[in-house]
Amino acid sequence: MTTACVALMGATTAARAEDAASTTKHKKAASAAATAATPTQIVATQAQIDALNKQIQALQSQLQALASQQDTNAKAVVESRAAAEKAATAATQIAQQQKVTDPNDNSLRLGKGVKLTFGGFIEAASVYRSRNMTADVATPYAAIPLKNSSNYDRGEFRGSARQSRVTMLAESDVGPDTHLGAYFESDFLGVGTSSNSGQSNSYVPRLRQGYLTADWKDTGWHLLAGQSFSLVTTNKSGIDPRTEALPMGPDAQYAAGFDWTRNWGLRVVKDWNRHYWLGVALESPQASISGSTALVPNSNTNPGGSLLNSTANYSTDIAPDLIVKAVAEPGWGHYEVFGLAREFQSRAAGQNYTETGFGFGAAAILPVVPKYVDIQLSTMAGQGIGRYGSSSLPDVTVNPYGRLSPITEVTAMAGVIGHPTSDWDLYAYYGLEQDDSKAFTVAGKAYGYGSGLAVNTGCYTENSPLACAGNTRSVREATAGFWWKFYHGNMGTMQFGMQGEYIRRDLFQGVGGSPSTDDTVLYTAFRYYPF
Query: Which tens digit of pLDDT belongs to each residue from 371-427?
Result: 999 999 999 999 999 999 999 999 999 999 889 999 999 999 999 999 999 999 999
* Cα–Cα distance measured from residue 158 to residue 167, given in angstroms and rounded to the nearest whole number: 25
Average pLDDT of the segment spanning 38-48? 58
pLDDT higher at 303 or 31? 303
Within 10 Å of residue 339's Cβ, how many Cβ atoms?
16
Average pLDDT of the segment spanning 338-355? 94
- Closest by Cα among 284, 293, 315, 287 to 302: 315
Integer distance in angstroms from the first to the last C-alpha of the chain?
51
Residue 129 has pLDDT above 80, yes or no: yes
Residues in the chain: 531
Average pLDDT of the segment spanning 38-43? 48
Q: Indicate the pLDDT class of residue 68, thresholds 50, 70 and 90.
A: low
Tens digit of each residue's pLDDT (9 = 90 or more) over 165-175: 999 999 999 99
Cβ-based neighbours of 66, under 8 Å, separated by 6 or more: 8, 11, 12, 15
pLDDT of residue 87: 57
* Cα–Cα distance measured from residue 259 to residue 433, given in angstroms and rounded to the nearest whole number: 10
pLDDT of residue 111: 76
Q: Which residues pair with 167 in a beta bridge?
A: 119, 185
pLDDT of residue 65: 74
Specify the long-range contacts of residues 97-104, CB closer than 8 Å, at least 24 apart. Answer: 103/489, 103/490, 103/491, 103/492
Which residue type, as a one-letter code, is found at position 189?
L
- Range of weakest confidence among 18-27, 349-358, 381-390: 18-27
Within 10 Å of residue 80's Cβ, how many Cβ atoms?
10
Specify the long-range contacts of residues 480-488, CB closer than 8 Å, at least 24 apart. Answer: 480/427, 480/428, 480/429, 481/248, 481/249, 481/426, 481/427, 481/428, 481/523, 482/424, 482/425, 482/426, 482/427, 483/248, 483/424, 483/425, 484/423, 484/424, 485/422, 485/423, 485/424, 486/423, 488/422, 488/423
Residue 15 has pLDDT above 50, yes or no: no
- CATH class of the structural domain 114-529: mainly beta
Apex CA 341: angle with CA 339 and CA 345, to 5°? 165
Within 10 Å of residue 447's Cβ, how many Cβ atoms?
20
Cβ-based neighbours of 280, under 8 Å, separated by 6 or more: 267, 268, 269, 322, 323, 324, 325
392: helix, strand or coil: coil
Which residue type, as a one-letter code, is found at position 498?
M
Domain layout of the chain by residue ranges: 114-529
pLDDT of residue 16: 43
Average pLDDT of the segment spanning 243-270? 98
* Cα–Cα distance measured from residue 165 to residue 162, given in angstroms and rounded to the nearest whole number: 8
Average pLDDT in the chain: 87
Apex CA 462: angle with CA 459 and CA 465, to 5°? 70
